[in-house]
Amino acid sequence: MYQLSDRFGIERRTVSNILHRHGVPMRRRGLSPGQVDEAIHLYNLGWSLARVGDHLGVNHTTVLNKLRERGVPTRDSHGRPRT
C-alpha cells in the first residue's frame, strides 16, 4: 500500500479503500523481533519514527507502538522526552 501510495501520489488510506472495494486480500505487515531491535537501535541513535518506519517499510505508528510495547521512552516531534 505504501508503494502504491507513493507511486500514484495518493494517501495510503485511499489505496486501502480502493483495494478493499475490489476485494483484494490484505496481509498485515508487522515487525519481526529482530526488526524491533533494529528500530530501537536506530531510534536511540536519534532517527525519527518516520525515518525508522521508512527504513523498515512500515508506518511510523507501527514503530511507535512497538517501541512502547518494549518500554522505550519516546520523544515528541521536537525531540523532547514525552511525559
Each domain of the chain, given as residue ranges in start order, spans: 33-70
> Which residue blocks in the chain are alpha helix, DSSP H?
2-8, 12-21, 33-44, 49-56, 60-69
Q: How far apart are the first and last CA of the chain?
A: 33
Q: pLDDT tens digits for 44-77?
A: 999 999 999 989 988 899 999 999 999 999 998 7
Looking at residue 52, its amino acid is V
3 pLDDT band (50/70/90 cuts)?
Answer: confident
The pLDDT value recorded for residue 70 is 96
Q: Give me the residues paired with residue 75 across strands.
A: 81
Tell me what pLDDT residue 53 has: 92
In the predicted structure, residue 17 carries a pLDDT above the cut 80: yes
Q: Which amino acid is at 37?
A: D
Are the C-beta atoms of residues 41 and 48 closer than 8 Å to each other?
no
In the predicted structure, residue 28 carries a pLDDT above the cut 70: no
What per-residue confidence (pLDDT) applies to 49? 95
